[in-house]
């Protein structure tokens, strides 16, 4: 196996693509005594590779908050030669890791990472979906864990127009929890709202990265627009002011799912990681 | 309000269309001390109409077993004039009943039943779906409660051919729990197997009615065919013999959902009810 550039000798980096139902987790990030996705993953990795003092150097593309789901999440781990020996003849396969995990976490694929790959810093974009059920939606208990129910009927066309008005490179301070020495400038590349065949409203958001609470805060604003409580012009003023407001809420995470992470071509991975590391290394990127 | 023909004077029959996630229920039918869909429904109806000595005369189209879901289930209730008075000015609406129910039961629609309507005996057909995930299926934890996972890859084309060979009016004794004085003759109208875009295998079954365990037993046989453990010719012989066999299993209900109930035109409701009542009144129709 080749050693990715920039990795200390003897380390092999693996990319893990996974999915989870966030309902019964307090979030991605490991917390002592609490059920987290990372915690479950580390415990399964311990079984395969033996103990690790640095949590296998795990880093994740999107550090999801409590209750947030993932249809497609990416993390990486660095495995030492000693740990690799523990594998024996059995490969480090998706099905082997998956078999050690509870039902609400699933391993989609495990790949040896290309040179320069970093699950968090090489990522050039993240795509989230947010599902909403209003009274126009056919009730579906199988969806109850994955959509936010609202009691008023929403105007999805108005919401879509409001969403489009937010697209671009701008300061999203109106939608972010402020943190010292962290920029709230992001490039929102797509924000579309449509009503699906079953009546559910699906919000799709793509950006280079999102700051803390940004998706749930934008969805709160779109719901206020869809209810007729906030005009697109008012939303424009609030966005312009780039300060938090009480005109809309940070909505419940139940409808939120990280469903894609974008990476550049292999020869751009290291350069992108370098760029992002300088820009965001001390930021909170949980969503 | 008109009184449906055949109902004692003063009773109003309502048709209730509903859906549920069966995971946390021990089935449809009320059982003391256990969590059942009917039990939850009766308790919500008690809140609206006051107590009932006969469970509001409730009857259901498909008495689902423990763990079986419903995307579309139908039941009816008979409400007395005294109970109607309890409604006051608030209508007996789907949203009112839904608001009194837990998240895993949802009311789709409440209608005043047409003359002669009986949720169970007027029904001319039931459609079930059964979802299966094999190794060719992209893992999706959001689906874990609604699909049966199997570890071997299945040949869905073979399964579809096997399914088609079962369609018709015949004795399904090979797939039914035997019960005294109950026929196991059913008309299976559709049995198709296809692989969906996300890799899941979806089995669709429509019949006039199903006997106990029939769907889960047929799906068990189709899985044996899809694994290459049972040939279509052998399945034909077993079906012909109309006796239970150990060549396939009654599978876990997790993938099973009642998703449609068919009724005839309004002017045929009473005649169909009379016919079915004579044919099946003492049968177990739980699935």
User: Are A126 and A207 a contacting pair, CB within 8 Å?
Assistant: yes
Q: What rounded mean pLDDT belongs to chain A?
A: 92
DSSP class of residue A258 equals E
Contact call for residues B139 and A98 (beta carbons, < 8 A) = yes
Q: What's chain B's average pLDDT?
A: 92
How large is the ipTM? Answer: 0.73
Element (H, E) at A25: none
What is the 8-class DSSP label of residue A250?
A: -
List all residues of chain B from 175 to 214 with a beta carbon under 8 Å from chain A: none
What residues of chain B lie within 8 A of the CB of A107, using their CB?
139
DSSP-assigned beta bridge partners for residue B130: B203, B256
Asked if B12-122 and B125-258 have one fold, the answer is yes
Q: pLDDT digit string (tens) for A68-122? A: 999 999 999 999 999 998 888 888 999 999 999 999 999 999 999 999 999 999 9
Annotation marks residue A65 as catalytic: yes
Mean per-residue pLDDT, B13-36: 96
Answer yes or no: is pLDDT of B242 > 90: yes
- Give dist(CA A177, CA A285) in Å, integer: 11
pLDDT at B10: 86
The dihedral over CA atoms of B77, B81, B82, B87, expressed in degrees to the nearest 10, equals 70
CATH number of B125-258: 3.30.70.660
Look at residue A139 in the predicted model and tell me its pLDDT: 85
Instruction: Compare all CA atoms of chain B with the CA of A149 and give the residue at the minimum distance.
Output: B103
Residue A284 confidence (pLDDT) = 46
At residue B198, the pLDDT reads: 86
Query: What would the two tokens of residue A58 be?
Result: 């795990």
For B246-275, write each residue's pLDDT tens digit: 999 999 999 999 999 999 999 999 888 888
CB contact under 8 A, A108 and B144: no
C-beta of residue A190 within 8 angstroms of C-beta of residue A203: no
B91 touching chain A per CB within 8 A: no
**Structural domain boundaries in chain A:** 12-122, 125-258
Contact indicator for A142, A213 with CB cutoff of 8 Å: no
Cα A9 from chain centre:
31
Q: What is the mean pLDDT of residues B66-78?
A: 97
- Distance from C-alpha of A153 to C-alpha of B70, rounded to nearest angstrom: 25
Q: Which region holds residue A197: left if phi is over 0, alpha if psi is between -120 and 50, else beta?
A: alpha
The Cα B12–Cα B1 span in angstroms is 8
Helix intervals (H) in chain B: 37-49, 81-86, 94-99, 156-166, 214-226, 232-241, 269-280
How many CA atoms lie within 13 Å of B158's alpha carbon, on the beta-carbon side?
17
Shortest distance between the Cα of B197 and any Cα of chain A, in A, equals 15
Fold of the domain built from segment(s) A12-122: Alpha-Beta Plaits (3.30.70)
pLDDT in tens, A188-217: 999 999 999 889 999 999 999 999 899 999
């Amino acid at each position: 196996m080749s050693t990715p550039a920039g990795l200390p000798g003897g380390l092999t980096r693996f990319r893990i693509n996974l999915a989870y139902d966030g309902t019964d987790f307090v979030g991605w990030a490991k917390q002592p005594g609490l059920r987290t996705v990372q915690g479950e993953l580390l415990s399964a990795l311990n079984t395969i590779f033996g103990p690790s003092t640095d949590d296998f150097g795990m880093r994740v593309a999107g550090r999801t908050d409590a209750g947030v789901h993932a249809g497609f999440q990416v993390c990486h781990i660095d495995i030492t030669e000693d740990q690799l020996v523990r594998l024996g003849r059995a490969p480090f396969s998706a099905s082997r890791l998956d078999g050690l995990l509870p039902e609400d976490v699933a391993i989609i694929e495990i790949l040896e990472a290309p040179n320069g790959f970093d699950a968090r810093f090489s990522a050039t974009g993240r795509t989230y979906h947010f599902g909403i059920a209003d009274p126009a939606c056919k009730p579906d208990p199988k969806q109850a864990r994955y959509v936010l129910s609202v009691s008023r009927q929403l105007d999805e066309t108005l919401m879509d127009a409001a969403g489009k008005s937010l697209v671009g490179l701008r300061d999203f301070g109106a939608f972010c929890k402020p943190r010292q020495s962290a920029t709230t400038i992001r490039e929102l590349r797509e924000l579309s709202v449509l009503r699906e065949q079953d009546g559910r409203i699906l919000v799709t958001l793509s950006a280079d990265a999102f700051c803390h609470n940004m998706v749930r805060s934008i969805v709160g604003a779109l719901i206020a627009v869809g209810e007729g409580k906030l005009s697109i012009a008012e939303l424009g003023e609030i966005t312009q002011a780039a300060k938090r407001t009480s005109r809309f809420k940070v909505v419940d995470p139940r409808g939120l799912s990280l469903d894609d992470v974008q990476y550049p071509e292999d020869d751009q991975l290291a350069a992108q990681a370098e760029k992002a590391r300088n820009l965001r290394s001390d930021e909170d990127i949980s969503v």
